[in-house]
Structure 1
């Protein structure tokens, strides 16, 4: 399965699910990262951590391990 961590900058993808065993699952859902929403990867740090995305019109920064829990 593909996850958000593997997407290059500029990618627009639709969220399929969030891993059930993710420690930040509830927090991601509360911030609007829900199945069916489109997110755009707008930036990555040089070593790939953190990742900046646009979701529902606002910028959100995620750690690499949090982005791996978002299935696209």
Structure 2
């Protein structure tokens, strides 16, 4: 499943990133790498970013980028 599809309050483990090297590098710099656990804090029903928690950080991601992150 993709990160943008999990419910608010749910936790998931990152499996892989299905985008180009540039997006992968950007996510890596934020700490979003395969194996880490993230929690969905908020997402708007229509458009706009999603907010995830990674450790003690809150990170806003665009829907398209979040949709490229495969989680379990």
Q: CA RMSD in A?
A: 1.4
- The equivalent of 1:66 in structure 2 is 65
Higher strand share: 2
- The equivalent of 1:40 in structure 2 is 39
When the two structures are superposed, what TM-score results if normalisation uses the length of structure 1?
0.89
- Mark the runs of 5 or more structure 1 residues left unpaired by the alignment: none
Misfit runs of 4+, over 3 Å: none
Give aligned pairs, total. Answer: 71
- The equivalent of 1:9 in structure 2 is 8
Higher helix share: 2
Moved more, 20-29 or 9-18: 20-29
When the two structures are superposed, what TM-score results if normalisation uses the length of structure 2?
0.89
- Mark the runs of 5 or more structure 2 residues left unpaired by the alignment: none
